[in-house]
Amino acid sequence: MSTLQAYGAGLRQLFQQKKLWLLLYGINFLFALVVVLPLNGLFDDTVGNSLMLDRSLIKFDFVFISEFLNQFGDRLQDWMKSASLGLFLYFVFSIFLMGGILNMLKANLTAFHQATFWSGTARYFWRLLRLSLYFLFVQALLLFAFLRIFSACGLNPLCIESDADLVLRFRWMSFIYVFAAISVFMLQDYSKIHLVHQEGSSLFKSFWSAIRLVFRNFKSCLPLYLLNLAVALLLTLLYWWLSGLPNKGSMSGIALVFLMSQLMIFVRIGIKLLNLSSANHLYRRFVGFEGRPL
């Protein structure tokens, strides 16, 4: 199976799993809504009757932002603390949901099946949690190593011959780092898939199997991952450009930008599913499960 074939199969499966897609979007929206809701009251109480608020709509208004932070920064900071907790909970809950997503992909169903999904969430939660933590550790290690190597030549500006050289060094190292980080993310995807497909295997076995599998089939795995990444980047750029077009000073403009941003969130979730399902197809091809439900 070629990269494009896997991508096509993933795309087909994505549209077959529209309910799953909607469910994930709905959870994302509701979670964010609950976290952000107190801000409505904050804006209403503090600046709801100030002319500065509506005047700040059209453009980036530094004066309004700095005034708001100066006067009500403490209250915003309190909200940010609770929002961080919300983000953490969402992170954990997403690990829980990941089990369901992978179980659906493993079952290779043509439509959303609630029992399969929810049974997967519970069954794989702890293993996926541990796996996520391990990979988090690996990513942290990678970042630490990058920073250490980057700073090994000295970061004290007074010890640096030329900032132009520093920029050049940063560019090259960033390129290498991003490539390494992408490879680890890719490995994590295949480890998850392997973990769910090979029920009995240990986490480390999943990890090593994924490494073996990815490196044996690097020519297919990497292009597929990069294709998904490129699509995501293109759509993000498109969204960025489009969201700047409506008149943000009107209620219809605000509504349009909001709808576009929700569409973008929906697309991002779709791309995440597409990435997993296309990788899943590639995985099944490599391990000989192609076409068969497990």
Partner 1 sequence: MRHPLLLGVLLLLLSIDISAQSSPVLSPRTANYDMQIRLDTEKKKLYAKTTLLWRNPSQDTIRELQFHLYYNAFKNTESTFAKEAGGLPSLLTNAWGDECGWSWSEITQIKDEYGNDLSGGMHFIQPDDNNTSDQTVLRVPLQQTVLPDGQIRIVYEWEAKIPKTMIRTGYNMDFYFFAQWFPKVGVYEAAGVRYAKKGQWNCHQYHASGEYYSDFGVYNVELIVPQGYVVGASGVLTAKKDVDEKNTSWTFKAEDVIDFTWTTSPHFIVQEEKWKDVDIKLLCYPGHEHFGDRYFRTVKNSLAFMDEYLGPYPYSSLTIVDPPIHGLFTGGMEYPTLFTSISLCFIPAGIKTTETLIVHEFVHQYFMQMVATHEVEEPWMDEGITTYYEGRIMDKYEGIESSVVDWMGIKVGNAAYNRSEFMAIDNIKIADNSYKSWEYKHGGYSRIAYNKTAVWLKTLEGLIGQSTFDKIMKTYFDRWQFKHPCKDDFIEIVNEVVRADHKDRFGEDMQWFFDQVLEGSDMCDYKLASISNQEITAPAGFLGAENECVMPAAPDGQADKSYRSKVILHRLGEVKLPVEVKITFDNGDEVVEYWDGLSRSVDFTFVGPHQISAAEIDPDRKLWLDANWLNNSYTFEKQSKGIRKYFSRFLTNLQHIMESINILI
Tell me the two tokens of residue 50: 């100030």
Of the residues 11, 83, 107, 211, which one makes contact with partner 1 according to CB under 8 A: 83
20 binds partner 1 (CB under 8 A): no
Q: Write the binding mask 184 to 203 for partner 1: x where contact by CB under 8 A, - elsewhere.
A: -x------------------
Using the rule CB under 8 A, give the single segment among 11-19, 23-31, 203-211, 283-291 that binds partner 1.
Answer: 23-31
Radius of gyration (Cα) for the chain, nearest Å? 23
Using the rule CB under 8 A, give the single segment among 1-9, 82-90, 145-153, 212-220 that binds partner 1.
Answer: 82-90
Which residues does 273 contact at the CB level (< 8 Å), separation at least 6? 14, 17, 20, 21, 24, 101
Closest approach of partner 1 to the CB of residue 66, in Å: 4
288 binds partner 1 (CB under 8 A): no
Are 124 and 196 in contact by the 8 Å Cβ rule? The answer is: yes
Are 214 and 187 in contact by the 8 Å Cβ rule? The answer is: yes
Using the rule CB under 8 A, give the single segment among 7-15, 86-94, 119-127, 201-209 that binds partner 1.
Answer: 86-94
Phi, psi of 22 (to 5 degrees): -65, -40
Closest approach of partner 1 to the CB of residue 106, in Å: 17
Closest approach of partner 1 to the CB of residue 2, in Å: 25
Burial class (CB in 10 A: 0-12, 13-18, 19+), 259: exposed
Are 283 and 197 in contact by the 8 Å Cβ rule? The answer is: yes
CA pair distance 183, 210, nearest whole angstrom: 11
**CA 46 to chain CA centroid, nearest Å:** 34
Quick one: 45 or 110, whose CB is closer to partner 1? 45
91 binds partner 1 (CB under 8 A): yes
Q: Which of residues 151-180 bind partner 1 (CB under 8 A)?
A: 156-167, 170
81 binds partner 1 (CB under 8 A): no
Are 52 and 67 in contact by the 8 Å Cβ rule? The answer is: yes
220 binds partner 1 (CB under 8 A): no
Quick one: 115 or 251, whose CB is closer to partner 1? 251
